[in-house]
Structure formats: C-alpha cells, structure tokens
C-alpha cells in the first residue's frame, strides 16, 4: 500500500477482534517503530509490546479508575469495556524524560499506525493511559512494565484486526494557515 493511501484510509478502531496478530505482522510493526527517527538520534524510546490479556486489562482497569466523569461518560457512550477496545496487542511507548520524549513517541506511534494500515491491521492511538503510570499514582503500573525510575509513559497504541469499519475523518481545511 502506498504511504499517502494508508494515511488517507486510516481511522481509529474502537472494536477489535480478539484474534491475535501474527508473529510476522508483529515483527513488521516493531521494525516500523524502530525505524522512527528520534531527536538527536538518542534512540532512548522503549517500545513495550503487550500481548498478555490480563496485563492489558489491568492497565485498562487502572486507567478507568482514574478517569474523570466526563471521560467516563464518553467511554460509556462508546460501550467501551476496555480502554484498548478489545485489541489483542498493545504498544506502550515510554522513555526517560527529555524535552523530545513525546515527539519521539509520536513519531514511532504514527509509524506503527501506518504500518498496521498498510498490512491490513487496524489501530487506535491512546493517551488516556498516562494516569495509570503517573508517579503521583501510588498504584502506578510502571513496575509491571519494568520501567526504570526515570522512565515515564509517553503514548499507547492498540493494534489488531477490526470487527467493524469506520470512515476516516473529513479533512478540515480550516486547520491550515499558509504564509506566502
């Protein structure tokens, strides 16, 4: 699949099949993440690949526990039982904190999302997991992912086969400012 086609076709999946992705697909996604550039070529991003259903559910449960009412209502309106929408594979990107951590994670996450689209998988990029790993959360799950003391959550992406299709969002030209 051509890159621009993958970009235009991709949309967030919120209804995954429980069927696990193949080892070959997983390897392609990992390589896509590793191919992402990092600021100053630090390559300090940690790509935590989770296929353990109980760990995925524990992260989701802790995230739900910490959600405010507005977000909880939004999740209920989507009939979401899991923050990862049933995806069998979840990538949690973490890094020692630098001013580039979120940029680096965003680049790797987008690579994963586009690679998934290109090989026939679906994805959903999720930031709502952050409180489950926050330092000020006494029940944080950093130790479950063997995160070091200086490491912090950056971004998550759920990946798998879609149970349903969703149209990509409409392009909003009002977001563009051109200076000639």
Half-sphere exposure of 151 (CA within 13 A, CB side): 22
Residue ranges of the domains in the chain?
3-161
Helix or strand holding residue 176 (H, E): none
Interval 26-35: pLDDT, tens: 999 999 999 9
Cβ partners under 8 Å of residue 32, min gap 6: 111, 112, 114, 115
Interval 30-78: pLDDT, tens: 999 999 999 888 889 999 999 999 999 999 999 999 999 999 899 888 8
Distance of CA 100 to the CA centre of its chain: 18
Res. 123: pLDDT tops 80: yes
Nearest to 147 by CA among 77, 78, 93, 111: 93
Q: Could you tell me what percent of the chain has a pLDDT over 70?
A: 99
User: In the CATH hierarchy, which top-level class contains the domain 3-161?
Assistant: alpha beta
Q: Read off the pLDDT band of 1 (50, 70, 90).
A: low
Res. 173: pLDDT tops 70: yes
Cα–Cα distances in angstroms (integers) from residue 168 to residues 6, 10, 12, 19, 136, in the given order: 11, 6, 8, 23, 36
**CA separation for the pair 57, 47 (Å, rounded):** 19
């Amino acid at each position: 699949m051509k890159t621009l086609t993958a970009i235009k076709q991709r949309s967030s999946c919120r209804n995954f099949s429980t069927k696990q992705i193949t080892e070959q697909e997983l390897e392609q996604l990992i390589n896509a993440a590793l191919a992402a550039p990092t600021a100053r070529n630090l390559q300090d991003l940690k790509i935590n690949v989770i296929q353990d259903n109980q760990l995925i559910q524990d992260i989701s449960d802790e995230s739900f526990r910490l959600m405010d009412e507005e977000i909880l209502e939004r999740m209920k309106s989507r009939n979401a039982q899991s923050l990862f929408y049933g995806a069998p594979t979840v990538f949690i990107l973490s890094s020692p904190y630098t001013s580039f951590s979120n940029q680096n994670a965003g680049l790797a996450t987008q690579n994963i999302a586009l690679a998934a689209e290109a090989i026939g998988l679906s994805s959903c990029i999720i930031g709502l997991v952050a409180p489950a790993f926050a330092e000020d959360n006494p029940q944080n799950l950093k130790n479950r992912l063997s995160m070091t003391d200086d490491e912090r959550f950056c971004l998550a992406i759920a990946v798998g086969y879609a149970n349903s299709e969703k149209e990509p969002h409409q392009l909003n030209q009002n977001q563009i400012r051109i200076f000639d």
